[in-house]
Amino acid sequence: MQYKMFFSFALNVQSKILLVFLFIACSYQVFAQSLSCTKEEKKVLLEHESELKSFVDVVSVDAFMALRIKYHVRLNDFTQLMRLLQDREYRKFAHNYIDVMPRQRVIEKMRIDSIFQDSIDALLIPENHSISGKNISMALKMADKLQISRKKYAFLMDKAIGYARMKRENPTVSFASREMKVLKKVLGRKQIETVLNEKNRLDSHLKSYMIWNDLEKAKLTEELDSSAQMYLMEKYFSLDMFYRDYFVDDEEAMKNNLDELYRYRPRAVRMHDAMITRKRVDAEAKEEKKKKVSNTYAW
C-alpha cells in the first residue's frame, strides 16, 4: 500500500510543484559533491516546464525500478532515492537544450550521473555489500547496534563510497587491507568482531553444514552429537574467518592465531580432514598404479 501511494504521488504531482521542489532539494551537498542546479539549468527547466513532467516521471521511475530489481532498497529510503533520481533526470533533461553538440551533451550527462552516484550509493551500501567493501558495508548496516556516532558513520560512509568508485572502475580491485585499517581507526576490536561475525555468519554455517553432510554420506556421524558439533564447527569457522579478515595486513599474527585455532578444531572437522586426506592418498595411489601399468606395456 505504501509503495502504491508513493508512486501515485510521484506520478501525479503538478509540474510547478516539482520544479519548486527541484530547486530546493537540489541545493544541498552530499559527500563534498554539489547536487545544485546551475543557473543555466534552472533557466532552461523553467522555460520548458510543460515538457518536463511526462518525460522525467517515466525516466526516473524506470531508474528507480532498475535499482529495486538489482539491489535491496529499504522502505524508508524510497522517497529520498526517488528524489535523487528525479533531480538527476531534471538536470540531464536541461542539457537537451543547453548543449548543441552531441558529444558535449553526453559528457555533461555523464558528469551529472557521476555526481549523483555517490548519494545513491550512500543509500544502497549498508544493505548491498557488493557495491563497496563487505566489511565496511556491514559496519554501516549495524551502525545503530554498534552505537556508532554520526561523525564516525560519515567517516566510514565517505571511505565506503571511495571504495565503490574504485570498484566501478576496476571490479576485481582488492582493498581488504585498507578497509580493515579504516575500521580499526574508528571501532574497537569487539565491535569489529561483531561486524565480521555477522558478515561471515552464513558462510560459516554453510561450511559446517557441508562438512556434516559429507560425514553423513560416509556414515561417520553415528557417534557424534549433531547439534553440539554444528555449534562448535560454526564457532570454529567464524573464528577462522575473523582472523583472516582482522589480520589481513599482518601475516605473522594471522598465521599464529590460525595455527593455535587449528589445534583445537572440533572433532567433526578433524574427521573430515582425515577423510579428505585418505581420499587424496587413495587417488594418488590409484594414479601411481595406472602409471606403472602404463609403463609396463609401453614399447
Q: C-alpha 88: how far from its chain's center?
A: 23
Nearest to 186 by CA among 122, 221, 140, 225: 140
Distance CA 65, CA 70 (A): 9
- Among the ranges given (184-193, 213-222, 284-293), the one the predictor scored with the smallest mean pLDDT: 284-293
- Among the ranges given (14-18, 156-160, 171-175), the one the predictor scored with the smallest mean pLDDT: 14-18
> What is the 8-class DSSP label of residue 132?
S
Side chain identity, residue 124: L
Residue 293 has pLDDT above 60, yes or no: no
Split at pLDDT 50, 70, 90, the class of 67 is: very high
Long-range residue pairs from 238-246, CB within 8 A, at least 24 positions apart, any chain: 238/197, 238/200, 238/201, 238/204, 241/196, 241/200, 241/203, 241/204, 242/193, 242/196, 242/197, 242/200, 245/135, 245/176, 245/180, 245/196, 245/199, 245/200, 246/180, 246/189, 246/192, 246/193, 246/196
Burial of 117 (0-12, 13-18, 19+ CB in 10 A): middle
Q: What is the pLDDT of residue 6?
A: 43
Distance CA 216, CA 209 (A): 10
User: Which residues have C-beta within 8 Å of that of residue 217, sequence separation ≥ 6?
Assistant: none
On whether the pTM is more than 0.75, the answer is: yes
Split at pLDDT 50, 70, 90, the class of 97 is: confident
Question: What would the mean pLDDT of 77-103 be, rounded to a whole number?
Answer: 92
Question: What would the mean pLDDT of 189-196 be, rounded to a whole number?
Answer: 97
Split at pLDDT 50, 70, 90, the class of 150 is: very high
Split at pLDDT 50, 70, 90, the class of 34 is: low
Distance CA 105, CA 103 (A): 5
Distance CA 114, CA 34 (A): 11
